[in-house]
């Protein structure tokens, strides 16, 4: 076989898996209740494709071929288990598998059932994240372990425990009806956690997976405003990835080279936000804040009063001392350094911010912009002392040095 033909097979298989893997797995879990079987037969079908497609040619409809092969394989496995255990319980399952199943409504989509089950609140948060990445995204156990800085064996254990709990505790394979909004929030939290983990560890593949999950959810839950807002938020934040770090050092938003931002992703995020909202939630407001930054030509030309108003809205919906701190920084840009300082001191009254280096760092910035250089230095030195990581300390020291030089 020529190299070109091998490439063609590999590409056709990758496309077919991207299109169909999740559908096959989700529908097999529903019919068989066996998570491992569902994942295994799809892997088997992919292996079989690699053997037969180079010889017989890529089938006219590779996705349909994969589905049929995986289903046949599932029927074989179940039949064999039936013979071995002398059980007839699977007959109904096999009959259902042999029929072609099509589901009319999006809420009846097996992929959505699968997502809600993986993100069920009766599972530990880390198990929800691992299971979603494994079964919905189709990442390998090894890759998930690597992303979360743990071994393949530990991650395998975590996945096994989660699947056992689903089976033993009777977690249903269903799209919830009574508490749908709350459960959607739970799913979005898992996706955003995957995204922020990718941010924190610079594991871009995780951020990409989170965005892929976001797109899937927007398609499956077209009426959910917060789902749409989360996808926009992730796109707008991810668009800045190439400007966030220069020579291994973090660059703050203010100093980022905006020509390195990914315009297409910003446009896509902003377009998602041009929408008639029925629900205004925390992701919607955060996405609007991210959009205000992403569409501004420079830090100085940013619509800071609008950002302050958005922070006020966010504090109303989801009060948090860190948001109050960010708001104070925005007030400093919008109404001047002294107004920012006043807002900062009132935010800093929250005991949860006590001893937080970000308060001291923000105070230092605002004081220096107010021209109070000596006071600014004292605040920066305090921030340096409190900084949790070497990198943050280095950055603060650099700012202090600039201040001494000025």
Partner 1 sequence: MKYMMLIVSDPDAADRPSDPAVDPVEDWVAKHDGSGKRLDGQRLRPPESATTIRRRGGELLITDGPFTETREWIAGFDILECDDLDEAIAIASTHPMSAAGTIEVRPFWPYEG
Burial tier of 122 (Cβ tally within 10 Å: 0-12, 13-18, 19+): exposed
CA distance linking residue 6 with residue 55, whole number of Å: 10
| Site pattern 243..272 for partner 1 (x: CB under 8 A) | ------------------------------
Q: Pattern of binders to partner 1 over 111-140, x per CB under 8 A?
A: ---------x-x------------------
- Window 171-230: residues binding partner 1 (CB under 8 A): 171-172, 174, 176, 178
Minimum CB–partner distance for residue 116 and partner 1 (Å): 10
> Which segment (59-67, 100-108, 164-172, 355-363) binds partner 1 by CB under 8 A?
164-172
Considering only the stretches 4-12, 29-37, 102-110, 165-173, report the one whose residues sit in contact with partner 1 under the rule CB under 8 A.
Answer: 165-173
Told to check if 84 binds partner 1 by CB under 8 A, we report no
Write the CB contacts of 159 (distance below 8 Å, at least 6 apart in sequence). 127, 130, 131, 134, 141
249-250/245-246 β-pairing: antiparallel
Query: Which one of 57-65, 73-81, 168-176, 283-291 is the stretch in contact with partner 1 (CB under 8 A)?
Result: 168-176
CB of 81 to partner 1, least distance (A): 15
Angle between helices 373-386 and 357-369 (to 10 degrees): 160
* C-beta closer to partner 1: residue 172 or 319: 172
Instruction: Quote the Cα angle for 290-294-300, to 5°.
Output: 105
> Which of 266, 323, 251 lies closest to 296, judged by CA?
266
CB 9 within 8 A of CB 42: no
Q: Tokens standing for 158?
A: 């975590």
State which of residues 168, 274, 276, 352 lies at the interface with partner 1 (CB under 8 A): 168
Of the candidate residues 170, 248, 297, 405, the single one contacting partner 1 (CB under 8 A): 170
Q: Which stretch binds partner 1 (CB under 8 A): 58-66, 170-178, 298-306, 357-365?
A: 170-178
DSSP code per residue over 115-156: HHHHT-TTS-HHHHHHHIIIIIS---HHHHHHHTTS-HHHHH
Instruction: List interacting residues with partner 1 (CB under 8 A).
Output: 120, 122, 168-172, 174, 176, 178
């Amino acid at each position: 076989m020529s190299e070109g033909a091998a490439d063609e097979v590999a590409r056709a298989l990758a496309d077919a898996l991207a299109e169909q893997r999740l559908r096959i797995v989700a529908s097999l879990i529903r019919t068989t209740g066996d998570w491992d079987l569902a994942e295994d037969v799809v892997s088997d079908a992919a292996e079989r494709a690699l053997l037969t497609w180079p010889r017989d040619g890529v089938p006219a409809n590779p996705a349909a071929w994969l589905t049929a092969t995986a289903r046949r394989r599932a029927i074989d496995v179940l039949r064999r288990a039936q013979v071995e255990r002398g059980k007839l319980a699977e007959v109904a399952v096999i009959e259902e598998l042999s029929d072609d199943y099509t589901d009319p409504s999006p809420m009846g989509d097996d992929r959505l059932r699968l997502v809600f089950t993986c993100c069920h609140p009766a599972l530990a948060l880390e198990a929800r994240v691992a299971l979603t990445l494994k079964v919905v995204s189709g990442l390998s156990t090894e890759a998930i372990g690597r992303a979360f800085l743990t071994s393949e064996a530990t991650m395998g254990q975590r996945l096994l425990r989660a699947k056992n709990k689903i089976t033993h505790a009777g977690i249903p394979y269903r799209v919830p009806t009574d508490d749908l909004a709350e459960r959607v929030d739970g799913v979005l939290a898992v996706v955003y956690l995957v995204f922020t983990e990718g941010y924190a560890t610079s594991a871009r593949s995780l951020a990409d997976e989170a965005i892929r999950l976001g797109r899937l959810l927007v398609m499956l839950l077209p009426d959910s405003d917060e789902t749409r807002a989360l996808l926009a938020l992730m796109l707008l934040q991810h668009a800045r990835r190439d400007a966030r770090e220069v020579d291994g050092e973090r660059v703050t938003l203010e100093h980022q080279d905006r020509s390195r931002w990914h315009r297409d992703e910003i446009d896509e995020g902003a377009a998602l936000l041009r929408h008639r909202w029925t629900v205004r939630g925390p992701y919607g407001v955060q996405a609007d804040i991210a959009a205000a930054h992403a569409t501004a030509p420079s830090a100085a030309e940013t619509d800071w009063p609008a950002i302050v108003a958005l922070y006020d809205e966010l504090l109303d919906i989801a009060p948090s001392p860190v948001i109050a701190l960010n708001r104070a920084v925005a007030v400093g840009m919008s109404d001047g350094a002294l107004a920012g300082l006043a807002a900062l001191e009132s935010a800093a009254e929250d005991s949860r911010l006590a001893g937080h280096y970000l308060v001291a760092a923000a105070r230092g910035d605002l004081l220096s912009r107010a021209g109070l250089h000596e006071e600014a230095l004292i605040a920066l030195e305090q921030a340096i002392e409190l900084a949790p990581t070497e990198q943050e300390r280095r950055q603060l020291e650099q700012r202090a040095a600039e201040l001494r030089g000025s």
